Structure 1
């Protein structure tokens, strides 16, 4: 078991709760967990450790929203996502912990900008709808950011919103998208050495919190003030990204 302070464990526990909530109530909120894991654990190890918790949460999201999935949209994204994941694998192969940490910080700042732009231009994007260029752009960026930093939530949320999906179809399509992509990443993560035995031990401690938060997220979804929560997520993510860039 990694030697971590009680405060580090408390932060990881908070991140595990965020992971569960992000899959069943607030898509994109997982960027907070990305920042916490990368701040507490070595940057490369943090990516692999968080990946396994995300997969657990994906399974619960699928169970809750499996009947509401747009498979045509997923097939349209598949080629670009594959390219993005492979680019991320190449980057992780040559990058050390410092570069990974800085890159995660930059990615988090980028997805914050994307989220803010999404809020501003939602109506215009919905009128135009997504097309092949959008699928290629967001698919590639989503594949790269999810491989390097597990931070594709806001990127893909923007794409799914542009597709004008109803709420349940949005959640169901996103659930299957991340479940498939995250499972696809596992062999690469093992080969790159970012899934480790110490990371697995950390996951065993945190999995119950992810499960509990996933069920709580389902209850919370209908009662949550989404605008306020997204504002808090953006604020926390900015703090985490700046920390990673300056640490």
Structure 2
């Protein structure tokens, strides 16, 4: 078991709760968990440790929202996401922790800016059917960011917001996307040495927190209106991106 101070365990428990909530109530909040794990653990090791907690939360998200997924959109995104994951594998092989953090932070801010501008000035465009170029761009960035830092939640959240998905369809599509992608990442993470035995032991301690938060998230999601939901997604995305840039 990793030797950590009490405050480090407290922060990790908070991050584990955020993981559960991000999968079942507030997508984008997961970036805050990424930031906390990277602050407490070495950045690359934190990626592997957090991945397994995300997979646990994915199981609950898929169970809760399995009937609400937009499979047509998932199939549109799939090739780009796979390509992005493979690029992320190569990047992780060569990049150090500092480069990983800075790169993800810049990407997230760019995505936020583009999405907000698009929604402001393109209100006449049918955003319920995003262009193939947008799917390819967001999908590639999502695959890349999920591989190098488990930070694709905000990237794909911006895409789903642009598509004007209702809350449940948003959560269901995101649940299936990340459940599949996170499992796809496991062999690469083992090969890169970022899934470790100490990380597995730490995960075993934090899994109950993830489960409790995931169950609470369903109750919260049922009470969020569309505007409040979208604002929370954007705020958490900005907070997480800021930390990755300045930490």
Common fold by TM > 0.5: yes
Q: What is residue 207 of structure 1 aligned with on the other side? A: 207
Residues 73-98 of structure 1 deviation map (CA, whole Å, 9 limit, x = unaligned): 11111111111000000001112233
**CA distance in 2: counterparts of 1:125 and 1:46, whole angstroms:** 40
Q: What is residue 222 of structure 1 aligned with on the other side? A: 222
**CA distance in 1: counterparts of 2:231 and 2:163, whole angstroms:** 24
Residues 137-178 of structure 1 deviation map (CA, whole Å, 9 limit, x = unaligned): 111011001101111112112222333333322211111000
Structure 1 residue 193 corresponds to structure 2 residue 193: yes
Q: What is residue 93 of structure 1 aligned with on the other side? A: 93
Structure 1 residue 39 corresponds to structure 2 residue 39: yes
**CA distance in 2: counterparts of 1:175 and 1:8, whole angstroms:** 29
Stretches of structure 2 that go unaligned for 5 or more consecutive residues are none
Q: What is residue 164 of structure 1 aligned with on the other side? A: 164
Q: What is residue 174 of structure 2 aligned with on the other side? A: 174
Q: What is residue 240 of structure 1 aligned with on the other side? A: 243
1:12-161 alignment runs, 5 A limit: 12-110=12-110, 113=113, 117=117, 120=120, 123=123, 126-127=126-127, 129-161=129-161
Whether the 8 Å contact between 1:15 and 1:37 is mirrored in structure 2 is: yes
Q: Structure 1 length as normaliser, TM-score?
A: 0.89
By how many angstroms is 1:237 displaced?
2.2
Q: How many residues align?
A: 244
**CA RMSD of superposed structures (Å):** 2.3
**CA distance in 1: counterparts of 2:121 and 2:203, whole angstroms:** 38
By how many angstroms is 1:25 displaced?
0.5
**CA distance in 2: counterparts of 1:180 and 1:232, whole angstroms:** 26
Structure 1 residue 5 corresponds to structure 2 residue 8: no
**CA distance in 1: counterparts of 2:177 and 2:156, whole angstroms:** 9
By how many angstroms is 1:27 displaced?
1.1
Stretches of structure 1 that go unaligned for 5 or more consecutive residues are none
Residues 165-209 of structure 1 deviation map (CA, whole Å, 9 limit, x = unaligned): 333222111110000000000000000001111111111111100
**CA distance in 2: counterparts of 1:115 and 1:173, whole angstroms:** 19
**CA distance in 2: counterparts of 1:102 and 1:236, whole angstroms:** 14
By how many angstroms is 1:68 displaced?
1.4
